[in-house]
Amino acid sequence: MRPKGFVHILYIWLVVGLAAWQLYLLIPALDMDRLRELLSIVLLGVLAEWLAVSFPHGQLSGSFALVLSTYLIFGPAATAWVSGLSTLFGQGIANRGNPARTTVFNAGQYVLAAVAAGHIYQLCGGRPGWSGFAAIFPLAAFTVSYLIINHLLIYFYLLPKRRHYPGPAWLDAVKWDSLTYLLTVPLGLLIAMIYVYTGITGIMLLFSSVLAIQLIMRHYIHLHVANRELKAFYDVATFLEKNPDLGELLNFILRSARKVFPYHSGVAYLRSGERDAFAPVAATGPYSKELKRTIVYRGEGIAGCSILDRKPEIISNCRLDPRTRNEAGLCQVMRSLLIIPLLSGEDDLGVIVLGDQRPMAFDEKHLHIMAVLGGQAALTVGKSVLASRLEHAASLDVLTGLLNSGVFFQAASEICEAAVENGALLGLMLIDTDRFKNFNDRYGRAAGDDMLAELAGIVKGVTRGDDLAAHYGGDEFAVILPGAGGRRLLDIADSLSNEIREHYFLRRAGRQARITVSIGVAELPRDAGDAAGLFKAAQRALDKAKKEGGNKVVSAAASIIGLS
């Protein structure tokens, strides 16, 4: 276990242990004759927790009205027990995806806050029961200290994840909680005042108004959250006007999603150069470094299957879902996943994966939000892909589908420069069709073009990885082979020459034409120190091969020897 993780677990159980110890010490102070009333108040507290208003970074309830009135009516011991039991049973039964330790911690924090606030109340001169306006200052101290202590305990509980969550979310939680206290304090005081006349019946009747306030706040907060969602969509649309690169855009979308709802870690993948492979371009959260080293393959794993099926997915519990139970990676450290494929027409552009350590952390609303944000991203990614395709198409020779000579020489110059800087080997093959004019005279110019297109396919077949092939002009072709030199370069050229010699061309036209080629090879740094020199060396070797009758491979080194 990491040291930070050990300290966090130690902190949780320290709070729980202190709370349990306080409850044990307070048992003698409980008035058992009023146990039935206290249990009724606990049930009201459980109901308040069940009806708590959830919002993106927390939840609100009106239970402080019960805490305050219980303190004034029954004293500090009853308050601590009511706070702890109401939270434990309320959040335990109406669980919102939190692990058991979070529920126990929340119960413990409320117990400690009640005990500490009670001491502060007494230090400020407060006395048991409602004693009129003279108790205003002690009651204010009780309320403020209860609020502050609760938020401090929660702050340290969330501290390991704090840097991954936006600051406004924390301020929002404090703001909404403070508003709730302002509404529930008067009701708590009113309950304490009328208890003498109405007993537990009055508490139940007045507390129903607290629940009504919760329902009103639920509606208001839902409007606030909806406004935040719209703002996230607007922010992304505004960000798109800056023409960001794809990595910046997807990072911004991951940050915008976190402002609307919480999640632990997120990653966005886009299609890479490798077939059916998607590489990470943006990641956030505690596991961002690990996620940036992962690859998603179309049809493999839950994210790859989502791309293949072109459907978003919600995984409520990775440990129980048969699709993710035995899957490595994010599924082993996350309990919930939200997966949104990025689509543009028939193209699979990428996928966004959000994960959280709570089960059932995501729902259809979160999916809808991410679908809209993902749709905004997909439009930009799709435009970028289209632009790249148009640029790539402009760089290709119309007849052969290989690179044209201008683009090829520019790319070759950059590759040669990098090879010189790194001291790496680099091979070049120049390929010329033997007696091409005779072929055209015999079969026709259209057949000659068909033969060149067919020949281009064979040339392209020898390329691997970073190799580049081009239609160099007329009936000539060129291939740059990074890392190839010496015997390996000659073997590749010989293999290509043999394959062309044994191939029957024009079969689609019902003919069986055969040709041979001459190949000149040169390598860097043996034969030249830059791209221009490399091409000159390969051309000398090609000229020598042609002069000797063609149908052979000649290296630049051999051509120099032959010329001396």
**Cα separation, 555 vs 522, whole angstroms:** 6
Dihedral, CA atoms, 529, 478, 539, 502, nearest 10 degrees? Answer: 130
**Cα separation, 281 vs 270, whole angstroms:** 7
Q: Are the C-beta atoms of residues 508 and 453 closer than 8 Å to each other?
A: no
Lowest-pLDDT choice from 85-99, 374-388, 542-556? 374-388
Q: Are the C-beta atoms of residues 480 and 415 closer than 8 Å to each other?
A: yes
Task: For residue 42, report the phi and psi dihedrals to the nearest 5 degrees.
Answer: -60, -40
Read off the pLDDT of each residue in 412-433 and give the average, rounded to a whole number.
Answer: 88
Residue 69: both structure tokens together: 């009135």
Residue 462: both structure tokens together: 């020898």
User: Quick one: pLDDT band at residue 168, thresholds 50, 70, 90?
Assistant: very low
Percent of the chain with pLDDT over 90: 25
Per-residue three-class SS string for 331-363: HHHCCEEEEEEEEECCEEEEEEEEEECCCCCCC
**Cα separation, 282 vs 182, whole angstroms:** 42
Q: How many CB atoms lie within 10 A of CB 420?
A: 16
Q: What b/e readout covers 363-395, taking b as 16+ CB neighbours within 10 angstroms? A: eeebbebbbbbbebbbebbbebbeeeeeeeeeb
DSSP labels for 133-162? GGGHHHHHHHHHHHHHHHHHHHHHHHGGGG
Residue 329: both structure tokens together: 């990676």
Q: Which residue has the tokens 């979310």?
A: 169
User: Quick one: pLDDT band at residue 563, thresholds 50, 70, 90?
Assistant: very low
Q: Could you give the strand order of the β-sheet that contains 265-271, starting from the edge strand earlier in sequence? A: 296-297, 277-284, 265-271, 347-356, 336-344, 313-315
For residue range 292-325, what is the model confidence (pLDDT) as tens digits? 888 888 888 899 999 999 899 999 889 888 888 8
Contacts of 256 (CB under 8 A, 6+ apart): 232, 235, 236, 373
User: Quick one: pLDDT band at residue 166, thresholds 50, 70, 90?
Assistant: very low
Task: For residue 315, report the phi and psi dihedrals to the nearest 5 degrees.
Answer: -105, 110
Counted residue by residue, the chain has a size of: 564
What is the structure's pLDDT at 176?
67
What is the structure's pLDDT at 91?
81
Read off the pLDDT of each residue in 516-524 and give the average, rounded to a whole number.
Answer: 93
**How far from 326 is each of 59, 287, 548, CA to CA, in Å?**
33, 19, 64
Distance of CA 490 to the CA centre of its chain: 46
**Cα separation, 143 vs 150, whole angstroms:** 11
**How far from 125 is each of 70, 77, 132, 134, 425, CA to CA, in Å?**
18, 18, 13, 9, 86
Domains of the chain, first to last: 3-208 (1.10.1760.20), 246-386 (3.30.450.40), 405-563 (3.30.70.270)
User: Quick one: pLDDT band at residue 185, thresholds 50, 70, 90?
Assistant: confident
Dihedral, CA atoms, 496, 499, 502, 503, nearest 10 degrees? Answer: -110
What is the structure's pLDDT at 180?
76
Q: Are the C-beta atoms of residues 138 and 131 closer than 8 Å to each other?
A: no
CA angle 467, 470, 474 (to 5 degrees): 155
For residue range 218-272, what is the model confidence (pLDDT) as tens digits? 776 666 666 777 788 888 888 877 888 888 889 999 998 888 888 889 999 988 7
For residue range 438-481, what is the model confidence (pLDDT) as tens digits? 998 888 988 988 999 999 899 988 888 778 888 888 889 999 99
Q: Are the C-beta atoms of residues 523 and 492 closer than 8 Å to each other?
A: no
For residue range 68-124, what is the model confidence (pLDDT) as tens digits? 889 988 999 999 999 999 988 888 776 655 678 888 998 999 999 999 999 999 898
Evaluate the CA torsion angle 161, 162, 164, 165 in order and state its sign: positive
Mean pLDDT, the chain, whole residue set: 83
Kindly tell me if the per-residue pLDDT of 338 is higher than 80. Answer: yes
Evaluate the CA torsion angle 491, 496, 500, 503 in order and state its sign: positive
List the one residue out of 533, 543, 397 whose CA is nearest residue 474.
Answer: 397
CA atoms within 13 A on the CB side of 91: 26
What is the structure's pLDDT at 231?
82
Report which of residues 166 and 44 the model is more confident about. 44
User: Quick one: pLDDT band at residue 385, thresholds 50, 70, 90?
Assistant: low
Kindly tell me if the per-residue pLDDT of 33 is higher than 70. Answer: yes
What is the structure's pLDDT at 354?
94
Kindly tell me if the per-residue pLDDT of 397 is higher than 80. Answer: no
Percent of the chain with pLDDT over 70: 87
E-state strands within 104-245: none
Query: Is-above-0.85 flag for pTM?
Result: no
Read off the pLDDT of each residue in 196-206 and give the average, rounded to a whole number.
Answer: 81
Across-strand partners of 265? Answer: 355
List the one residue out of 134, 133, 139 whose CA is nearest residue 120.
Answer: 139
**Cα separation, 162 vs 400, whole angstroms:** 57
What is the structure's pLDDT at 460?
87
Q: Could you give the strand order of the β-sheet that contains 517-524, starting from the edge strand earlier in sequence? A: 468-473, 476-482, 426-433, 517-524, 553-555
What is the structure's pLDDT at 238?
85
Kindly tell me if the per-residue pLDDT of 11 is higher than 70. Answer: yes
What is the structure's pLDDT at 272?
77
Residue 59: both structure tokens together: 């939840």
Label residue 463 left, alpha or beta by phi (over 0 means left) and psi (-120 to 50 means alpha).
beta
Q: Are the C-beta atoms of residues 324 and 331 closer than 8 Å to each other?
A: yes
What is the structure's pLDDT at 130?
61
E-state strands within 19-174: 53-55, 58-60
